[in-house]
């Protein structure tokens, strides 16, 4: 089997120290380790000790404390700091399936040129329960999206892309994302710009992350409203 290219995982975080460490640990327990995990830390009290989590592995965890200017800018900071050209983005409240990274990156290599790959995000526990939760519907296995579409299909917290492809469309919009002036939709905006530039978004159902702090109850419609605002 053809060896995979070197990978930089970019993990942006703010004030979730326990979830952050557990996310990193799950990645480091995978069947294929990244060459590096770049932790872009916008926390009030950044934790440089996360670099120690990679001790005894072939991976490196790098800690990059930055000002809390928003998620879109944090992701761009991670891109600028990354040492490798295959970039994988993951949020700080995810748990990675053991073959997640290998599956995601192989799909990116197979889908080239002009592709970005995203995968399945399965809900686990919610932040709180307040009477209702959103229903979810999975894309068909192996779904691809191109041209103009009527839905948001690219998850910024679960995607793989070549650095050159990302920079072709200008990276993430720093005005968008949690903590930014428009506090959501940095990933939706990027996805639509990639599609407009002729890229294909490939959904790989076998690349699985588990979302461990999704919003339920009254918090969920607020998140969706912010996506519309963003």
Q: What is the pLDDT of residues 81-96, one digit of tens each?
A: 999 999 999 999 999 9
Radius of gyration in angstroms for the set of CA atoms belonging to the chain, rounded to a whole number: 16
The span from the CA of 96 to the CA of 56, in Å, is: 19
Q: Does 209 have pLDDT greater than 50?
A: yes
Residue 135's pLDDT band (cuts 50, 70, 90): very low
Q: How far is CA 64 from CA 9, 10, 80, 82, 116, in A?
A: 13, 11, 11, 11, 25
Q: Does 134 have pLDDT greater than 80?
A: no
Listed range (16-30, 171-185, 209-223) with the worst mean pLDDT? 209-223
Domains located in the chain, CATH noted: 7-229 (3.90.550.10)
Mean pLDDT to the nearest integer, 188-210: 95
Q: Does 145 have pLDDT greater than 60?
A: yes
Closest CA to 166 of 111, 64, 88: 88
Contacts of 6 (CB under 8 A, 6+ apart): 35, 83, 84, 85, 86
Closest CA to 118 of 147, 77, 153: 153
Mean pLDDT rounded to a whole number for the chain: 87
Query: What pLDDT, in 10s, does the model give residues 147-161?
Result: 666 566 788 999 999
């Amino acid at each position: 089997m053809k060896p995979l290219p070197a990978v930089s995982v970019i993990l942006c975080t703010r004030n979730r120290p326990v979830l952050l460490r557990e996310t990193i640990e799950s990645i480091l327990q995978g069947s294929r380790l990244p060459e590096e995990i770049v932790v872009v830390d916008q926390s009030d009290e950044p934790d440089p000790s996360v670099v120690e989590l990679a001790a005894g592995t072939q991976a490196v965890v790098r800690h990059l404390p930055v000002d809390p200017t928003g998620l879109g800018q944090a992701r761009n900071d991670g891109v600028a700091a990354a040492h490798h050209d295959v970039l994988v983005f993951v949020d700080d409240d995810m748990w990675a399936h053991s073959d997640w990274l290998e599956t995601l990156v192989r799909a990116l290599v197979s889908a080239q040129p002009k592709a970005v790959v995203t995968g399945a995000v399965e809900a686990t526990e919610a932040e709180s329960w307040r009477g209702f939760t959103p229903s979810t519907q999975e894309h068909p296995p192996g779904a691809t999206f191109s041209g103009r579409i009527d839905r948001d299909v690219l998850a910024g917290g679960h995607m793989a892309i070549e650095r050159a492809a990302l920079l072709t469309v200008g990276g993430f919009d720093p005005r968008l994302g949690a903590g930014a002036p428009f506090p959501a939709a940095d990933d939706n905006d990027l996805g639509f710009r990639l599609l407009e530039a002729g890229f294909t978004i490939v959904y790989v159902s076998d690349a699985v992350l588990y979302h461990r702090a999704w919003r339920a109850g009254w918090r969920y419609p607020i998140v969706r409203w912010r996506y519309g605002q963003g």
